A and B are shown apart, each in its own frame.
Chain A
Amino acid sequence: MKDIVFKEIDGGKPFYMLLGFIGIFVLAALGAAWYMEHNGHWVTGMNNQIVWGTPHVFAVFLIVAASGALNVASISSVFQKTAYKPLARLSGLLAIALLVGGLAVLVLDLGRPDRLIVAMTYYNFKSIFAWNIILYIGFMGVVAIYLWMMMERKMNSFTRVAGFSAFVWRLILTTGTGSIFGFLVARQAYDTAILAPMFIIMSFAFGLAIFILVLMGIYKWSDRPLGDSILFRLKNLLGVFIGAVLYFVLTYHLTNLYITQNHGVERFILMDGGIYTQLFWIVQILLGSLLPLALLYHPSTGKSRGWIGIASLLVIIGGLAQMYVIIIGGQAYPLEIFPGKEVVSSFADGVVGSYTPSLPEVILGIGGIAVALAATFVGVRVLRFLPSTLADDAVDPHYSAKQASA
């Protein structure tokens, strides 16, 4: 294994054109946010029944993926797997960038985004949401320090400590994000401790899928060698994470199916919830989990970069569908205020909440992804995040041994 040389990617016209292209999505998102704030939320699909809509789907997805994107760095620094070491810097950068993108969407969807300073100065410490605000800000700080330890030669000896801190912090952070839903006692779809670990395992899968795509994209773009060895390690890991998410989803639904009072919400999500049922079975389970699993482990597609990329993309689409089912499907199922009664009122009691995503909401959500990508690309352009080569003989400690025995 040779010494790793980290280098900025080249600038020039193509780079700025790419940045300009992403910038269009960021500007569109700002325009959408302004439109929604100026008119009020009635112009969105959200209402008094579905209070969290598409922006939350994107925001929570990005925030969850952010902590997951740090995994590659954690495997390197905490679990001492040297093969992942060259990827650790990108992993940290992507984690911060995804979090910034997610938070931007979350803040711009507030009823009063102008009161952001209030959110940061008034804390109710019994609120898991308040804790999340602290955890998000802290995560960026901890990961920034971790990156500094990795990138400053004099500080390298602190990398493991910083990496361990960041690893613990990200576990707490995703526990907090899952608990935003897990702590909601009133709603049948939430109110369960399993959401916290399920969000952690979801973060592993979503974050790694994004990491693989970004890595493949940048290396192709910048014409740098990316060997099969590292890529196949990552894709095998992604397969394990997809399987783990499926296990948690299965356990969640089996538990609810056993408990009679939760039969209603299970029937809604799994059988007659319309769009939510379709998203669950077709997009989340079939396209987002089973198909990528097959693609990643099939002897031929599992060795194809194109298919690995498609499988990663499917995991991301499946993840967004999963968030949609959890967040919006969970609200659409009516609150059981009077168990055993049919309920009718002028306030949509007892009926499935109606929600259709509006265009500005979708544009705002996509803007979050654009912010994350723009931050990542600027990062790798101005600082030394990426090794100049990830070819097999450069990164795989066992490569030469394998060659010799072959």
Chain B
Amino acid sequence: MSEESNIDIYRRRFMSGTATAAAGLAVAPGVMLTEVARAKPAEQAVTSDVRWGMLIDTNMCNEGCDDCVTACNEEHNLEGFGRPTTDAQWIRKVTLKDKQTGNVQTLPMLCLHCEHPPCVDVCPTGASFKREDGIVLVDSHICIGCRYCMMACPYKARSFIHEQLQDQMPYSPRGKGTVESCTFCVHRVDRDILPACVVACTEENHNAMTFGDMNDPGSEISQQLKQYSSRQVRADLELNTGVRYRGI
């Protein structure tokens, strides 16, 4: 087969792939961050004009449903080794029972993307960092695996990679001996696509998760936060979390 016809095949595959993706997006409402309309060129740096945040309505979160967890695991290929104490978990379902009243609630816990993240404060090399738009990430290339950030995080949001990983996603680089956590699906958000967990929750019509720009007064998340009472987990620490909860 000639080189030219090879290119034709690639081109055809690419075109059909794009068309499928476009069709998928058209029928899946809530996938795009349409309200933001801030699509910026890739070379342009993120700014603090945007503060990405998430509002989780625990009243809408069903006990027994873990669609957000499954979606995250698939998106980032967080396949475990069947070892619950050492496998990574970026998002987990937590069930709460009030010790006094017996009231039971369930909610997803993930990295809360604090404005003042303790993990970033304590990291000796600066591998833990916060983007201007509020997303807290780990630079896998300069993480030395000291785990001090895991000692410091009040939410147990981070996992240490305890063994060799295979079949990683190109947009989610991970490595044995380093620490990682929820990235707010930064690879999607930068392309104006909602995080995988939010899409999964919305697709199932649970609508417990709202994602958006907390700095934009017109965004859905800002309007909901303004209209309804919400809480930060461990608000006493005054970390100004990017993830907030209704109903707790």
Contact = CB atoms under 8 A, between A and B. Distances in A.
B118 to A, nearest CB: 6
Nearest to B85: A47
A343 B146 contact: no
A40 B163 contact: yes
Interface stretch (A48-56, A95-103, A294-302, A367-375): A48-56
B64 interface: no
B154 A337 contact: yes
Contacts of B160: 41, 48, 51, 111
Contact of B86 (A47, A52, A128, A349): A47
A42 interface: yes
B52 to A, nearest CB: 22
Contacts of B159: 48
B178 interface: yes
A133 B124 contact: yes
Interface stretch (A72-80, A178-186, A279-287): A178-186
Interface size of B as a range: 35 or more
B178 A112 contact: yes
B175 to A, nearest CB: 8
Contacts of A48: 85-89, 150, 156, 158-160, 162
Interface string A344-380: 1111110000100000000000000000000000000
A56 B100 CA distance: 38
Interface string B143-176: 1111110111111101111111000000000001
Contacts of B123: 124, 127, 129
B86 A41 contact: yes
Given A110-B145, A123-B126, A185-B154, A345 B86 contact: no
Contact of A337 (B142, B148, B151, B156): B156
Interface string A86-117: 00000000000000000000000011110110
A160 interface: no
Contacts of B152: 184-186
A289 interface: no
A346 B118 contact: no
B125 A130 contact: yes
Given A42-B163, A111-B177, A185-B118, A331 B143 contact: no
B81, B84, B96, B248, most chain A CB atoms within 10 A: B96
Interface of B: 81, 83-89, 92-100, 109, 118, 120-127, 142-148, 150-156, 158-164, 176-179, 233-234, 237, 248
* Shortest beta-carbon contacts, A-B, top 8: A111-B145, A111-B177, A186-B154, A40-B163, A42-B162, A47-B85, A51-B147, A129-B124
